[in-house]
């Protein structure tokens, strides 16, 4: 699949602005849907097309996906449980609904440890549950996708640049011992995921001591793809059974699958 146009959701965040710059440097046309035009003008490259609006609004989402080959989601919030649901889950639902019937590839950033359902962190705001629900929407959407679950942002030392792709969400300490990664590397892997050979990939992303690889294709090719009809990623624990999801989430999944 040839990618020439990319929609960015979360473009003014610390990862999104790096995705924008790397995409522009690669010669891609980038559109960012933003809620604060002044902030976006200060933080994003001049070449990025700005669409002002809320990604959760159906009209904004429809305008955002028009003419796009791919969508990169780097958004997120910690404001409140209601905002986490509206943003982390709702933005993905809205954009995927607008993208139905279109030939669009998806790269979604969530977080390492997202399957840890019973942690104090998740009980506070439901952040992991909402991110995991967003992943489930992406898998059921029918679009080719890569879900990237990065480790702890910029906790890496200068010599920790060797990229490692993991599966199974086995690192569950809830601190930087789960894995570290530089923000620019997260951006690189998200963009690389748009052109990976496999169409359904879920991975955790960390870095170890050593130089960064020039070629990421071997890392992607070594992954186990998600099953075609899967709700969850390959090799991952079922700590939030689909039957236990709210009726509204199950309805959203069914609508995207129809």
pLDDT per position as a tens digit, 78-120? 999 999 999 999 999 999 999 999 999 999 999 999 999 888 8
Reply yes or no on whether the pLDDT at 158 is more than 80.
Answer: yes
Average confidence (pLDDT) over 132-153: 97
Q: Determine the Cα–Cα distance for residues 150 and 146; give it in Å rounded to an integer.
A: 12
pTM attached to this predicted model: 0.97
CATH number at residue 245: 3.40.50.720
Q: CB of 234 within 8 A of CB of 208?
A: no
Average confidence (pLDDT) over 186-201: 96
Q: How many domains does the chain have?
A: 1
Residue 131: give the domain boundaries.
5-257
Average confidence (pLDDT) over 200-220: 97
Round to the nearest angstrom and report the end-to-end CA distance of the chain: 24
């Amino acid at each position: 699949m040839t990618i020439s146009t990319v929609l960015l959701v979360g473009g003014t965040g610390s990862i999104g602005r790096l995705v924008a710059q790397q995409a522009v440097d690669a010669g891609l046309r980038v559109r960012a849907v933003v809620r604060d035009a002044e902030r976006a003008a200060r933080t994003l490259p001049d070449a990025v097309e700005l669409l002002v609006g809320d990604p959760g609004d159906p009209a904004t989402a429809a305008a955002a996906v028009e003419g796009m080959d791919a969508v990169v989601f780097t958004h997120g919030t910690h404001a409140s449980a209601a905002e986490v649901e509206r943003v982390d889950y709702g933005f993905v639902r809205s954009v995927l609904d607008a993208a139905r019937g279109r030939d669009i590839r998806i790269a979604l950033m969530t977080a390492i440890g997202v399957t840890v359902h019973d942690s104090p962190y998740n009980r506070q705001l439901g952040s992991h549950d909402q991110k995991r629900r967003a992943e489930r929407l992406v898998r059921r959407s029918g679009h080719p996708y890569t879900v990237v679950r990065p480790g702890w942002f910029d906790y890496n030392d200068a010599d920790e640049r060797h990229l490692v792709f993991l599966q199974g969400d086995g690192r569950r300490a809830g601190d930087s011992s789960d894995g570290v990664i530089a923000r620019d590397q997260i951006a690189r892997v998200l963009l690389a995921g748009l052109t990976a050979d496999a169409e359904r990939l879920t991975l955790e992303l960390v870095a170890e001591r050593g130089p960064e690889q020039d070629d990421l294709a071997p890392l992607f090719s070594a992954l186990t793809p998600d099953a075609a009809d899967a709700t969850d990623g390959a090799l991952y624990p079922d700590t939030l059974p689909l039957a236990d999801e709210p009726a509204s989430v199950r309805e959203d999944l069914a609508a995207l699958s129809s």
